[in-house]
Amino acid sequence: MRPRASTLKIVASSPTSCKACSRDADIYLAVSQAKAISYVLNLWDKLSVYLRDGRVCIDNNRIENAILPSAIGKKNWLFMGDPKSGDRAAVFYTLIGKCHREDITAEAYLTDLFTRLPTETNGSS
């Protein structure tokens, strides 16, 4: 059975189960569990998009991994010295991040860019 199909089978009964647990939450469940069930029920339509559309991922790990270096760098870049240094660092970080997303070797790209840049014109002259 495909993972999505098995998930569908499990999740199909979940709203009913969650509602039943929610009614009896004060008796059977801790407050934190009742809050978790309420959270799931409130976002049920959004959660079920995953089951209806095979293109949707169940988690956002790829995005979180992509922004992790940026999140780590934020604290390190707070004290760049001159504000212009921060702007320059942001430009370089953007270029390098784009290279990673496009599976381009950043070092090779930047080497090519800085080799060609002094002789290029903007074409409007």
SS3 53: coil
Question: Per residue in 22-80, pLDDT tens?
Answer: 555 555 556 777 788 888 888 888 888 887 888 888 788 888 887 787 777 766 666 66
41 Cβ contact list (under 8 Å, min separation 6):
15, 18, 19, 22
Distances (CA, A) of 52 to 2, 31, 116: 14, 31, 49
- Residue ranges making up the domain that contains 37: 3-52
Answer whether residue 110 is part of any domain.
Answer: yes
Answer whether residue 125 is part of any domain.
Answer: no
N-terminal to C-terminal alpha carbon distance within the chain: 63
The residue from 13, 34, 52 where one domain ends is 52
> Does pLDDT of 89 surpass 70?
yes
> Letter for the amino acid at 5?
A
Angle, vertex CA 92, rays to CA 91 and CA 96, nearest 5: 120
Are residue 43 and residue 88 in the same domain, yes or no?
A: no
Question: Per residue in 12-23, pLDDT tens?
Answer: 666 666 666 555
Are residue 65 and residue 99 in the same domain, yes or no?
A: yes
- Number of domains within the chain: 2
Contact 37, 22 (CB under 8 A): yes
Are residue 86 and residue 103 in the same domain, yes or no?
A: yes
Tokens of 66: 């992509």
Answer whether residue 70 is part of any domain.
Answer: yes
Contact 47, 40 (CB under 8 A): yes
